[in-house]
Homo-oligomer: A and B are copies of this chain.
């Protein structure tokens, strides 16, 4: 991301998180920011818009742009923006290991098609992985990738980071992700693969991911042990 507005966004975000612009105060007005970043009006606004969408600030007409982000008490494993499992784990201060349980080519039949959103007949790669950290198997990922989008993928790469491979080696850009969160009973398979303790339900995140070409290339169900599951998001009226 080499856009000017994005650099400004990142800079402002840093300052908010560092407490330079504290909770419930106003950041400098557009006119000041113009001078500081030496750009126009519109570019500042674009940066502020992204900042707003991410829940850091809220513009108040006639007054200014107010900081609404509070330093968070985050517990265990927090999901949110688009990021790789490895990135998320690192951000949560956890060292993670991944074990590949299934790695096979399949052709989408009617049942798979309805569950994943792929078309019947699509060539897919079916991958199942168990995520291990804090001395326990905590997440079970069941994924279907569009085969033509993940050429050269091997079980070894799947054990490392599929998304890093796709972005760095294949030059693909992950762009949009539609997510659905539900709760489901643990299956015998979950119990066999995960360290579930007494939990009999799981938090399930269904993820349908599109690349920069607008092609749906992945549907994954991440099945989380409840005590390690936290999902954060921001909704903004009208945006």
Residues of A bordering B, CB below 8 Å: 1, 6, 24, 50, 52-53, 55, 57-58, 60-61, 63, 66, 68, 70, 73, 75, 80-82, 114, 117, 173-184, 199-201, 203, 210, 212-214, 216, 226-227, 229-239
Query: B58 and A234: CB pair below 8 A?
Result: no
Q: A1-B238, A175-B237 are in contact. Are A60 and B212 (CB under 8 A)?
A: yes
Query: A68 and B214: CB pair below 8 A?
Result: yes
Closest chain B residue, CB of each to CB of A76: B182
Query: A232 and B68: CB pair below 8 A?
Result: no
> What residues of B have a CB within 8 angstroms of the CB of A203 in the complex?
181, 183, 203
> What residues of B have a CB within 8 angstroms of the CB of A184 in the complex?
226
Can you sample 26 A-B contacts with CB below 8 Å?
A: A6-B238, A50-B239, A52-B176, A53-B53, A58-B175, A58-B212, A60-B213, A61-B212, A68-B176, A68-B210, A68-B216, A75-B182, A81-B235, A176-B236, A177-B234, A177-B235, A179-B234, A179-B235, A180-B230, A181-B231, A181-B233, A182-B230, A183-B226, A183-B227, A200-B200, A233-B233
Closest chain B residue, CB of each to CB of A173: B237
The complex is assembled from copies of this chain, and their number is 2
Task: Name the residue among A60, A117, A176, A200 with the largest chain B CB count within 10 angstroms.
Answer: A176
> What residues of B have a CB within 8 angstroms of the CB of A201 in the complex?
183, 199, 201, 226
Closest chain B residue, CB of each to CB of A119: B24
Query: B236 and A58: CB pair below 8 A?
Result: no
| Cα–Cα, bound, A229→B212 (Å) | 31
Q: A203-B183, A234-B177 are in contact. Are A214 and B70 (CB under 8 A)?
A: no
> What residues of B have a CB within 8 angstroms of the CB of A81 in the complex?
235
> Taking the nearest CB of chain B, how far is it from the CB of A139, in angstroms?
14
| Cα–Cα, bound, A212→B1 (Å) | 31
> What residues of B have a CB within 8 angstroms of the CB of A234 in the complex?
176-179
